[in-house]
């Protein structure tokens, strides 16, 4: 029998996972919680073989709790984090599932856990390292852009600015080249590091490394000479960024 504990603070996801696990004959759900303090007590009491844990909970990051446990237990992470964050989590867990959770993937991973007894057990040091990473996540260095003809992998630092127009985004590069991608600007706003890129206008996402001048009339001049408008509601953000350089 595989005893499972669910650490998840979204009730609809808990119910969904529960309904899937109920169909697996060798699985028994021994408890669930969305709060780390309650979960810590119950996990020690119920001694599960497997913990299904969301990474970001309302009261903290689950690594903080899991790194304190001194139990022989499997871990399976449930997360809505980006691929970049997940790829950095080399912590020896049996695996991870991204939201929305696919029922087949969950079932197959549970079977994988049931089949293994020692290979995928985690250790405290790896969890502590992962916890530190989630608090200061690695910034992606490259991005893959799919055009109509090819997929090009570029260095994020080489992007000067992005222009969104009618469901498409054009990337303007330091080399002078540009790439047209059939995805909206908001998609890339979520992928590119916010510490480096600012959405200064509905149509523009700029790389702050290439700002050359900021005019009082609300325009940015990039290092390539391009003038980019700054919307009224974004002027404070640009001003705050410039103040950090003063």
Average pLDDT value for the chain: 83
pLDDT reading at 19 higher than 70: yes
Amino acid 87: pLDDT: 44
Averaged pLDDT, 153-176: 94
What is the β-pairing status of strands 74-79 and 95-98?
A: parallel
pLDDT confidence tier of residue 195, bands split at 50, 70 and 90: confident
What fold does the segment set 2-135 form as a domain? Answer: Rossmann fold (3.40.50)
Q: What is the pLDDT of residues 87-141, one digit of tens each?
A: 435 455 566 777 788 888 889 888 888 876 544 445 555 556 556 655 555 556 8
**Fold matches, 2-135 and 142-244:** no
Amino acid 169: pLDDT: 95
Estimate to the nearest angstrom the gap between the alpha carbon of 137 and the chain centroid: 9
For residues 205 and 211, the answer to whether their CB atoms sit within 8 Å is no
For residues 3 and 30, the answer to whether their CB atoms sit within 8 Å is yes
Q: Which residue has the tokens 């595989």?
A: 2
pLDDT reading at 168 higher than 50: yes
Q: What is the pLDDT of residues 56-85, one digit of tens each?
A: 888 888 877 877 776 778 888 887 765 534
Amino acid 138: pLDDT: 55
What fold does the segment set 142-244 form as a domain? Answer: OB fold (Dihydrolipoamide Acetyltransferase, E2P) (2.40.50)
Per-residue 3-state assignment (H helix, E strand, C coil) for the chain: CEEEEEECCCHHHHHHHHHHHCCCCCEEEEEEECCHHHHHHHHHHHCCCEEEEECEECCEEHHHHHCCCCCCCEEEEEECCCHHHHHCCCCCCCEEEECCCCHHHHHHHHHHHHHCCCCCCCCHHHHHHHHHHHHCCCCCCEEEEECCCCEEEEEHHHEEEEEEECCEEEEEECCCCEEEECCCHHHHHHHCCCCCEEEEECCEEEEHHHEEEEECCCEEEECCCCEEECCHHHHHHHHHHHHHCC
Amino acid 84: pLDDT: 37
Q: What is the pLDDT of residues 209-240, one digit of tens each?
A: 999 999 988 999 999 999 999 999 899 889 88
Q: Is the pTM of this model over 0.75?
A: no
Give the residue extent of every domain in the chain: 2-135, 142-244
């Amino acid at each position: 029998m595989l005893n499972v504990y669910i650490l998840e603070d979204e009730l609809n996801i808990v119910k969904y996972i529960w309904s899937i696990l109920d169909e697996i004959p060798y699985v028994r759900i021994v408890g669930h919680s969305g709060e780390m303090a309650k979960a810590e007590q119950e996990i020690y009491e119920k001694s599960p073989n497997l913990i299904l844990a969301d990474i970001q909970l309302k009261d903290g990051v689950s690594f903080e709790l899991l790194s304190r446990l001194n139990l022989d237990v499997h871990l399976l992470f449930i997360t809505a984090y980006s691929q970049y964050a997940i790829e950095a989590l080399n912590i020896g867990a049996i695996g991870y599932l991204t939201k929305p959770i696919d029922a087949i993937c969950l079932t197959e991973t549970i079977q994988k856990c049931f089949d293994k007894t020692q290979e995928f057990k985690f250790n405290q040091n790896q969890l502590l390292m992962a916890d530190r990473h989630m608090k200061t996540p690695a910034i992606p260095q490259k991005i893959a852009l799919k055009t109509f003809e090819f997929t090009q992998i570029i260095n994020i630092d080489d992007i000067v600015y992005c222009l969104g127009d009618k469901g498409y985004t054009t990337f303007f590069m330091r080399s002078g080249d540009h790439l047209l991608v059939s995805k909206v600007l908001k998609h890339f706003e979520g992928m590119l590091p916010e510490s480096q890129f600012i959405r200064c206008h509905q149509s523009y996402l700029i790389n702050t490394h290439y700002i050359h001048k900021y005019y009082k009339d609300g325009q940015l001049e990039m290092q390539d000479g391009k003038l980019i408008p700054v919307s009224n509601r974004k002027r404070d953000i640009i001003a705050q960024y410039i103040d950090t350089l003063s």
